Amino acid sequence: MKIKTGDTVQVITGAYKGTIAEVKQALPKENKVIVEGVNLVKKHLKPTQANPEGGIIETEAPIAVSNVMLYDSKAKKASRVGYKTVTNKKTGKVEKVRVYKQTGNEVKEGKK
């Protein structure tokens, strides 16, 4: 899966089409991602000792990773992603980095 937690993505299909937001959590085993403010669902909470009032909360549900594309903030559009091997100048090690297919720029790593 080429999308990681902290990446900025654009939703390309569905009710939230066109929304640009950050990935809160990546679920590679399920091939899904949780995107901030996208696919909101209402969840009913039963009263507990920790939350004596209970109530209804809105939370983000996972969406398929095929419904989002990484967003290139410099080019101001969504782009497919590929991999390129680059030699690190400091350590001399060969690293695999993600690049935008349209511009060829490196994808900045998201927050972990």
Query: Nearest Cα to 68, choosing from 59, 85, 60?
Result: 60
d(CA 25, CA 9): 12
In terms of CATH architecture, what is 8-78? Answer: Roll (2.30)
- Give Cβ neighbours of residue 55 (< 8 Å, ≥ 6 apart): 44, 45
pLDDT value at residue 108:
84
Domain ranges for the chain:
8-78
- Tens of pLDDT, residues 11-56: 999 999 999 999 999 999 999 999 999 999 999 999 999 989 999 9
d(CA 83, CA 77): 19
pLDDT value at residue 110:
65
pLDDT value at residue 10:
96
- Residue at token pair 């967003």: 71
Cα 86 to Cα 3, 11, 97: the distances in Å are 19, 29, 7
- Tens of pLDDT, residues 66-111: 999 999 989 999 999 999 998 888 888 898 999 999 998 989 876 6
Q: What is the largest CA-CA distance in the chain?
A: 58
pTM (2 decimals)?
0.83
